[in-house]
């Protein structure tokens, strides 16, 4: 297999090793490879870690968000407020319910939805707010809770990138939820692909499990263990959003490493912060007092530099360093731009940040000398 990491410093690299390989091997040898006991073990580990009562594993965060939105009552006549400064998957999950995403602007310092910019977007069709904890930094959840309580809306949290991040002493997902995580390779821990809903709502957890598994009233595992005749029933149409035990086995091992992963990311973020903080052309990430950032990505903004952001990325690539432009606003994507109702969407902060932001490599196996190369190269270029 070609080594895709040998000739440059990548933007990210998942931290996988022998323990993950052995765990996968054990599952394969067991003969039970999907939606079994290892998935349950992984769900319990994540629920305990974040402080939630229940967890439901899925095959992606997109499907976890879709199930959460549907189970919070979002349907085709509704609008859901969300950021444009996010992954397409956030808005896709809203579309899967038939509802319409309504984009609101972000805060200039945190890059998360700004609670002050929400009320102007609320209409009689608004059903929910889908808050994204972007790039690993918790959004101001209490600000959104005030709004959803005032207008009787649902609150769903997209913490795809933010497992382990803390909001006012509580890990994201530990406040009742529903909160959704991703286990894509770019996230804090990975299962290849995968996602999870955490919640304190037993009904939501039971229904999410069922809806994510064709809507069946009992799981494959329950049916397998049953002696004699047992028939599943379908009270609703569902999906195949199941996670495999092969993926969950990787997740269980990754959860054993999460503290190490988070602390290494924190160290690397601090090294970047210290290297860039005095440079007036670089804006480093802002972390409000209420939050602990988990640095699933490290994003800076480039200001007043003669070298444009895009030239900088190209020059870094010439030096063997992979960087990426920041998050691209969804309302600029052809899918939205070409729709009449999004034609006049203008989000000043989102557009400004998207224009000058750049992601730098950050991942547990990034060495200090590689990180030094990133820092010195970037400073030299700008
Ligand atoms: C904010 C956000 N939400 C949702 C997703 C979708 O996650 P997944 O790829 O697991 O469906 C991502 C993935 O990058 C994301 O960054």
Range of the domain at 45: 18-256
Check if 160 has its Cβ closer than 6 Å to any atom of ligand 1.
yes
pLDDT, one tens digit per residue, over 297-332 is: 999 999 989 999 999 999 999 999 999 999 999 999
Query: Are the CB atoms for 329 and 84 separated by under 8 Å?
Result: yes
β-bridge partners, 359: 299, 324
221 CA distance to ligand 1 centroid (A)?
A: 28
How sure is the predictor about 221, in pLDDT bands with cuts at 50, 70 and 90? Answer: confident
Query: Residue 229 pLDDT more than 90?
Result: no
Q: 105 alpha carbon to ligand 1 midpoint, in Å?
A: 19
Residue burial 178-192, b: 16+ Cβ < 10 Å; e: rest: bbbbbbbbbbbbbbb
Residue 142 near residue 168 (C-beta atoms within 8 A): yes
Judge if the beta carbon of residue 59 lies within 6 A of ligand 1.
Answer: no
Instruction: Let me know whether 315 and 356 are in one domain.
Output: yes
Cα 37 to averaged position of ligand 1 atoms, centre (Å): 25
- Evaluate whether residue 2 is within a structural domain: no
Within this chain, do residues 231 and 294 fall inside the same structural domain, yes or no? no
For residue 382, the CA-to-ligand 1 centroid distance in Å is 31
CB distance 182 to ligand 1 below 6 Å: yes
What are the structure tokens assigned to 82, written together? 């969300």
Residue 5 within any structural domain of the chain: no
Quick one: what percent of the chain has pLDDT higher than 70?
100
- The residue whose CB lies within 8 Å of the most ligand 1 atoms, and thus the one to mutate among 46, 58, 62, 85, is 62
Shared-domain flag, residues 297 and 207? no
Tens of pLDDT, residue by residue over 167-199, are: 999 999 999 999 999 999 999 999 999 999 999
Pocket test for ligand 1, best of 184, 197, 251 (most atoms within 8 A of CB): 184
pLDDT > 90 in the chain, percent: 92
37 and 177 inside one domain: yes
User: What's the rounded Cα separation, in Å, for the pair 248 and 255?
Assistant: 10
pLDDT (tens digit, 9 = 90+) per residue, 44-74?
999 999 999 999 999 999 999 999 999 999 9
User: pLDDT grade, residue 362 (50/70/90)?
Assistant: very high
Q: Is 296 in the pocket of ligand 1 (CB under 6 A)?
A: no
CA angle 290, 293, 298 (to 5 degrees): 140
Residue 275 Cα to ligand 1 midpoint, Å, equals: 30
- Are 163 and 22 found together in one domain? yes
Q: Ligand 1 center to residue 277 CA distance, Å?
A: 29
Q: Are residues 241 and 300 in the same domain?
A: no
Indicate whether 193 and 46 sit together in one domain. yes
Q: Residue 366 maps to which CATH number?
A: 3.90.1150.10
Structure-token match 């009787």, residue found: 152
60 lines ligand 1 (CB under 6 A): yes
pLDDT at residue 220 in the model: 82
Residues 230 and 95 in one domain: yes
Shared-domain flag, residues 124 and 210: yes
The residue out of 256, 276, 309 marking a domain boundary is: 256
State whether 215 and 157 are in the same domain: yes
**Last residue in a domain, options 256, 273, 299:** 256
Note whether 46 and 107 are same-domain residues: yes
What is the pLDDT confidence band of residue 277, given thresholds at 50, 70 and 90?
A: very high
pLDDT-based confidence at 283, cuts 50/70/90?
very high
pLDDT tens column, 103-121: 999 999 999 999 999 999 9
Question: What confidence tens digit (pLDDT) does each residue in 26-35 have?
Answer: 999 999 999 8
Residues 330 and 181 in one domain: no
CA of 45 to the centre of ligand 1 (A): 21
Q: Is the pTM of this model over 0.95?
A: yes
- 358 falls within a domain: yes
């Amino acid at each position: 297999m070609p080594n895709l990491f040998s000739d440059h410093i990548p933007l990210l690299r998942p931290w996988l090793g022998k323990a993950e390989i052995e765990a996968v091997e054990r599952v394969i040898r067991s003969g039970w490879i999907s939606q079994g006991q290892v998935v349950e073990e992984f769900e319990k580990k994540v629920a305990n870690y974040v402080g939630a009562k229940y967890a439901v594993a899925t095959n992606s965060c997109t499907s976890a968000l879709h199930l959460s939105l549907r189970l919070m009552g979002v349907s085709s006549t509704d609008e859901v407020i969300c950021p444009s400064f996010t992954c397409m998957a956030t808005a896709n999950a809203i579309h899967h319910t038939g509802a319409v995403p309504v984009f609101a602007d972000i805060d200039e310092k945190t890059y998360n939805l700004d609670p002050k910019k929400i009320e102007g977007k609320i209409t009689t069709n608004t059903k929910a707010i889908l808050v994204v904890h972007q790039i690993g930094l918790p959004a101001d959840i209490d600000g959104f809770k005030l709004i959803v309580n005032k207008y009787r809306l649902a609150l769903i949290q997209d913490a795809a990138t933010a497992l382990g991040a803390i909001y006012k002493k509580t890990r994201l997902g530990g406040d009742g939820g529903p909160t959704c995580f991703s286990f894509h390779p770019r996230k804090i821990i990975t299962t290849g692909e995968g996602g999870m809903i955490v919640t304190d709502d037993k009904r939501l957890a039971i229904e999410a499990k069922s809806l994510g598994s064709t809507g069946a009233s009992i799981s494959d595992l329950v049916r397998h263990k049953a002696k004699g005749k047992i028939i599943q029933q379908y009270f609703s149409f569902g999906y195949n959003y199941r996670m495999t035990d092969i993926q969950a086995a990787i997740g269980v091992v990754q959860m054993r490493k999460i503290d190490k992963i988070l602390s290494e990311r924190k160290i690397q973020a601090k090294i970047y912060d210290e290297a860039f903080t005095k440079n007036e052309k670089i804006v480093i990430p802002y972390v409000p007092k209420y939050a602990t950032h988990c640095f699933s990505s490290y994003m800076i903004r480039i200001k007043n530099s003669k070298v444009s952001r895009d030239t900088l990325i190209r020059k870094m690539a010439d030096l063997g360093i992979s960087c990426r432009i920041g998050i691209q606003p969804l309302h600029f994507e052809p899918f939205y731009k070409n729709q009449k109702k999004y034609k006049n969407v203008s989000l000043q902060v989102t557009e400004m940040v998207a224009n000058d932001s750049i992601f730098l490599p950050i991942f547990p196996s990034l060495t200090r000398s590689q990180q030094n190369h990133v820092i010195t190269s970037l400073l030299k270029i700008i």
